[in-house]
Amino acid sequence: MNELNEDELRRRRTRSIAIALILAGLVVLFYVTTIVRLGGNVADRAL
């Protein structure tokens, strides 16, 4: 595989940051979705 030049390295870094932000966004999305869907039932679960 060829060495990446400076511009390609910069784009790879930007892509990696974008992927990290998307993953963090997904964590928030699934967490809030779960809370909203459970609603009041979250307090009624068997302990």
For 31, the token pair is 């967490």
DSSP 45: S
Binding pattern for the stretch 1-40 against another protein, x by CB under 8 A and - elsewhere = xx-x---x--xx-xx--x----------xx-xx--xx---
Q: For residue 19, give both structure tokens.
A: 């992927």
Other beta carbons within 10 angstroms of residue 33's beta carbon come to: 10
Cα 23 to Cα 20: distance, rounded to the nearest angstrom: 5
Q: Rounded to the nearest whole angstrom, what is the least distance from the CB of residue 45 to another protein in the complex?
A: 19
* Residue 42 in contact with another protein, rule: CB under 8 A: no
Residues that bind another protein (CB under 8 A): 1-2, 4, 8, 11-12, 14-15, 18, 29-30, 32-33, 36-37
